[in-house]
Amino acid sequence: MRITQPPRASSICSLAGDHADALAALWAAVDESDALEVSAAVRKCKDLRINIDEERKSDGVTPLAVAVKRGSVAVANILIKNGAVADRALDDGSTLLWMASKIGNIDIIKVLAEAGAKVRILF
């Protein structure tokens, strides 16, 4: 039987740093609507097994919500193809599809609908 040593604190800190760096790169690329950088950041996140659909702690939005709000079709497509949920409800009960329709972006509406976003009627 082989006994393994627990990971060193320095390797745990390095992994946490990699995690934070990957998420920071993803958010920066999404904020800039830079599809090439989003693709690279998504690959890094996948390598580190980071959920790219996780809400940002400061405001509760996801990278896909930012892409929808900015009208970035290319970034939205990349995020959806890599696991972002198109049919997510926002904190106020609205959806990404509603957000896209509110800003009148037909291309984003199509992307979300093709990815399974459902139409909901809010009263």
Tokens 């497509």: give the residue: 77
Instruction: Please compute the mean of the pLDDT values over residues 60-86 and round it to a whole number.
Output: 94
* 40: pLDDT strictly greater than 50: yes
**Domain positions in the chain:** 10-114
Task: Please state, rounded to an integer, the average pLDDT across all residues of the chain.
Answer: 84
Encode pLDDT of 57-70 as tens digits: 778 789 999 999 99
In the three-class reduction of DSSP (H, G, I as helix; E, B as strand; rest coil), residue 65 is classed as: helix
Encode pLDDT of 106-122 as tens digits: 999 999 999 998 876 65
Given the candidates 3.40.50.970, 1.25.40.20, 3.30.1160.10, 3.90.1150.10, the CATH classification of the domain at 10-114 is 1.25.40.20
* 26: region left, alpha or beta (phi > 0 left; psi from -120 to 50 alpha): alpha
